[in-house]
Structure 1
Amino acid sequence: MNTITIAGKKVPRLGLGTMRLTGPGTWGCPADPADAITLLRTAVDDLGVLHIDTADAYGPHTVEELIRRALHPYSERLLLATKVGMVRPAPNVWKPLGRPEYLRAAVEASLRRLGIERIDLCYLHRVDPAVPLADQVGELEDLRTEGKIGAVGLSKVTTDQIREARTLVTVAAVQNCLNFAEPDDPALEYCLSNGIPYVPYRPLNAGRLSDPAAALRWLLELGPLVAPIPGTSDPAHLRALFARRS
């Protein structure tokens, strides 16, 4: 199976996004938390998924807690990635918050919810335009130096923002939106040219694409550094997504 090394862990290139394991509006618990726990266990135990992507904003906090209930204690082979730097005032409302003290508090809270001492890969969920980027990634780098983060990633960023961040920290991965309906991201070529794993989020355009297999195949064919994270709350859909992996 085609694999990729992200944050020091070798995993299959197709990972699982967990944003859909919440209530409507990415808010609160899913209709049946037990089903979400079963889906997570099926992904890892039955289908060999080793890259689980989440965020403290999913719920908020809900999915990190579900992941702990489903998968803790975690396999050493599992790459567990989360994101900080986004607050949720209400369903379907997302606001970046990148003050260093908030990012530190968010990382500490994610560690507790996930039941770990170090997050394998922690992304800055969004760049907060009200805070210098150097302060935001600098705080995450401090947390990495302290051993609370294994590697630092960036989400929804421009090429210029990646370039600036790389003057301060090793960028372990970039997570941007890419799919058939939204196929153009200049950051993709930058990442491929500079050896940075590129993790497309919303690879199936939130379920709106008619041929998920073709969409994932297209993404995987973009290059060996591309590692999509499709998400679902449906066990049958999960099995279909991971039945044939590149």
Structure 2
Amino acid sequence: MTALDPELPAPHHHADVSGGRLRPAVFGAMDGLVTNIALIAGVGGGGVSSHTLVLTGVAGLVAGAISMGLGEYTSVRSQNEQVSAEVAKERLELERHPEQEAQELADAWVRRGLPRELATQVAHALRDNPREALRVHVQEEMGVDAEDHPSPWAAALLSFVFFSIGAVIPLLPYLLGLSNLWAALGAGGAGLFLAGALVGRFTQRPWWSGGLRQLVLGALAAAATYGIGTLIGVSAS
């Protein structure tokens, strides 16, 4: 049969599920939306002026974007450093005790169902290829790729940019000249639904299910802060 044989299954490709870029982008956008929707709802419930509300929203956008970027950079950088330290430890073990490490790898494969003879043969073949042996041992023992680390700078930039995009959406009605809290909350809700629907596109969930989930979560956050803002505004007046 040839590569074009119609009886052969069609080739398929998997999405990148390592979390290198999708996670900080999605998390940043969702956090920006929910944070500023809740912030605007809270100060709006307190009865502040439109100018104060916009100022609060912009301050929340800038502070949140910087915080997200720095937090994502620190998180990814720390994770990479921890992985590097564990990889160095495993490399030293492979250099000092190659036979013992090969036996441990074979035992792990036997527990997964491979025949002992085959598992031992492959493990000893890897022992003679230090680089590949290190990669396989790290993958088996820690579940990570010894040579593939996400960029902390890329994660930080994506978080900063997408948080800013998410946070500006509920401010758009005010920036366009509308002084209406419900228009801002409506814009934020539409943004949440759209973001959830887009995430559903990547995760194979129904788009409407992902959209509704994010809309409900955002609405709960907005309701909570609006109620608190209303109570504080009434007690302060």
Superposition TM-score, scaled by structure 1 size:
0.23
Q: Larger C-alpha radius of gyration, 1 or 2?
A: 2
Compare the two structures and name the one with the higher strand fraction. Answer: 1
Compare the two structures and name the one with the higher helix fraction. Answer: 2
Relative contact order, higher structure (CA 8 A, sep 6+)? 2
